[in-house]
């Protein structure tokens, strides 16, 4: 038994902050942000709108696209580092909204790689024969943990959610997943505000040494591309679409180059979404599916890299 993606969905909050809006707020320029990151705008949650609100929109869209009903879902995994509450976990809160009471529901915190981690776990539940339909969501309200005055991070991050429904199938959709972490890099990228370590006197926000993170991201993503292809005995040319984490267009270009892929075969949303952490891969996937570029049968390489560091990939026959 294998799992395959039966439907995708996504949600972006209505409010958009452009680079020009940021120019008015801090010492930066639209030209610098576009040239160094590829970002032009990002969506930001409305007051009172939460991660679970966005997750619900994305989940309902994915469930509809999969042609099933919320009560058909047998497992919910939500990737996020910005949950509504400490507990119940956002998977449980989403389960209550969808009305599939009783099925297991939990969240995964692996920063920007959270969706790949969640996808990998859901795939294993299905392959083990424990469930037949799983909802996997990546949702983030990063604006809630971003210092609006820090030009090193405020220009990068946005809010949103993406989701997929995985179903059991004899044909492999999720062909392989590859997960990694190296906790030695905590000083380069972290968000404070953890319950047991207490709150930071300077505010609980994302702290990032951008240039250092950039270098490790390019190296690790290059390696995981090789690892994914080698594990499946595939040539680079076997990949139809790269669906990367949307952190920086220059990181995406470096990974595409490693795969010898023209940028026309890469789903790029960073210009419109910014970096939405766990939401970025399922958001990009949904964009590529709904605009008709990604078709049934296409071979996809999903990858992400984020705080921890954590990184991972999924080889998917769509
Ligand atoms: O998703 C999780 C993983 N995160 C990432 O993958 C993010 C990885 N890092 C990056 O994307 C890039 O490092 C950034 C976009 C964060 C920064 O770009 P960079 O090319 O690495 O810039 P830098 O930090 O090396 O700074 C270059 C210059 C500095 O000025 P000096 O010292 O050369 O005079 C900065 O002070 O650019 C300056 N700078 C800015 N200027 C205008 C930094 N931020 C800004 C800004 N506007 N927003």
Q: Give the pLDDT band (50/70/90) at residue 198.
A: confident
Q: Kindly state if the Cβ of 112 falls inside 6 Å of ligand 1.
A: yes
Mean pLDDT of 49-67: 98
Q: Is the pLDDT of residue 161 over 90?
A: yes
275 is catalytic: yes
248 is catalytic: no
The pTM score is 0.98
d(Cα 17, Cα 4) in Å, to the nearest integer? 35
Residue 37: name the closest of 188, 252, 304 by CA.
252
Model confidence over 300-312: pLDDT tens digits? 999 999 999 999 9
State the catalytic residue, choosing from 112, 178, 248, 273.
Answer: 112
Mean pLDDT of 178-192: 97
Q: Kindly state if the Cβ of 253 falls inside 6 Å of ligand 1.
A: no
Model confidence over 1-29: pLDDT tens digits? 999 999 999 999 999 999 999 999 999 99
Mean pLDDT of 111-119: 98
- Ligand 1: which of 27, 214, 251 to mutate, judged by most atoms within 8 Å of the beta carbon? 214
What is the reported pLDDT for 108?
A: 98
Tell how far the Cα of 208 is from the centroid of ligand 1, in angstroms.
10
Q: Tell me whether strands 241-244 and 299-306 are parallel, antiparallel or unpaired.
A: parallel
What is the reported pLDDT for 254?
A: 97
Q: Kindly state if the Cβ of 278 falls inside 6 Å of ligand 1.
A: no
Q: Is the pLDDT of residue 291 over 90?
A: yes
Q: Kindly state if the Cβ of 81 falls inside 6 Å of ligand 1.
A: no
Q: Is the pLDDT of residue 194 over 90?
A: no
Q: Is the pLDDT of residue 163 over 90?
A: yes
Q: Kindly state if the Cβ of 193 falls inside 6 Å of ligand 1.
A: no
Q: Whose CA is nearest to atom 41 of ligand 1?
A: 28
Q: Whose CA is nearest to atom 25 of ligand 1?
A: 211
149 is catalytic: no
Q: Whose CA is nearest to atom 39 of ligand 1?
A: 152
d(Cα 259, Cα 238) in Å, to the nearest integer? 10
What is the reported pLDDT for 90?
A: 98
What is the reported pLDDT for 195?
A: 87
Q: Kindly state if the Cβ of 37 falls inside 6 Å of ligand 1.
A: yes
Q: Kindly state if the Cβ of 213 falls inside 6 Å of ligand 1.
A: yes
State the catalytic residue, choosing from 43, 57, 245, 273.
Answer: 245
Q: Kindly state if the Cβ of 36 falls inside 6 Å of ligand 1.
A: yes
Q: Is the pLDDT of residue 190 over 90?
A: yes
Tell how far the Cα of 209 is from the centroid of ligand 1, in angstroms.
8
Please report, for residues 16, 231, 237, 250, 301, the alpha-carbon distance to residue 177 in angstroms, rounded to integers and kept in the order given. Answer: 33, 10, 19, 24, 10
Average pLDDT, whole number, for the chain?
A: 97
Tell how far the Cα of 210 is from the centroid of ligand 1, in angstroms.
6
Model confidence over 80-92: pLDDT tens digits? 999 999 999 999 9
What is the reported pLDDT for 116?
A: 98
Q: Whose CA is nearest to atom 12 of ligand 1?
A: 210
Q: Is the pLDDT of residue 233 over 90?
A: yes
**275 Cβ contact partners less than 8 Å away, ≥ 6 residues apart:** 39, 112, 142, 156, 157, 158, 245, 246, 247, 248
What is the reported pLDDT for 193?
A: 87
Q: Give the pLDDT band (50/70/90) at residue 202.
A: confident
What is the reported pLDDT for 70?
A: 98
What is the reported pLDDT for 223?
A: 97
Q: Whose CA is nearest to atom 2 of ligand 1?
A: 306
Model confidence over 236-289: pLDDT tens digits? 999 999 999 999 999 999 999 999 999 999 999 999 999 999 999 999 999 999
User: Which tokens hold the place of 180?
Assistant: 């990694």
């Amino acid at each position: 038994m294998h799992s395959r993606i039966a439907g995708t969905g996504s949600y972006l909050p209505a409010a958009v902050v452009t680079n020009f809006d940021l120019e008015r707020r801090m010492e930066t320029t639209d030209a610098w942000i576009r040239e160094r990151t590829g970002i032009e705008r990002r969506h930001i949650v409305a007051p009172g709108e939460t991660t679970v609100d966005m997750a619900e929109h994305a989940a309902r869209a994915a469930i509809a696209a999969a042609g099933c009903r919320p009560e058909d879902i047998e497992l919910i995994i939500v990737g996020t580092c910005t949950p509504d509450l400490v507990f119940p976990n956002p998977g449980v809160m989403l389960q209550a909204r969808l009305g599939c009471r009783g099925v297991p529901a939990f969240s995964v915190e692996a920063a920007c790689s959270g969706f790949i981690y969640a996808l990998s776990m859901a795939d294993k539940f299905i392959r083990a024969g424990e469930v037949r339909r799983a909802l996997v969501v990546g949702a983030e309200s990063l604006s809630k943990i971003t210092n609006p005055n820090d030009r090193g991070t405020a220009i990068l991050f946005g809010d949103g959610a993406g989701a997929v429904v995985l179903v059991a199938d004899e044909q492999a959709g999720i062909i392989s997943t590859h997960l990694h972490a190296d906790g030695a890099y905590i000083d380069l990228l972290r968000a404070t505000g953890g319950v047991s370590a207490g709150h930071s006197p300077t505010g609980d926000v994302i702290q990032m040494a951008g240039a250092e993170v950039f270098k490790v991201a390019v190296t690790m993503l290059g390696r995981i591309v090789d690892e994914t292809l080698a594990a499946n005995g595939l040539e680079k040319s076997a990949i139809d679409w790269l669906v990367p984490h949307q952190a920086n267009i220059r990181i995406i270009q470096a990974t595409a180059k490693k795969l010898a892929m023209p940028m026309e075969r890469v789903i790029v949303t960073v210009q419109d979404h910014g970096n939405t952490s766990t939401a970025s891969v399922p958001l990009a996937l949904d964009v590529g599916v709904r605009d008709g570029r990604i078709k049934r049968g296409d071979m996809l390489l999903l990858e992400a890299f984020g705080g921890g560091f954590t990184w991972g990939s999924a080889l998917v026959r769509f």
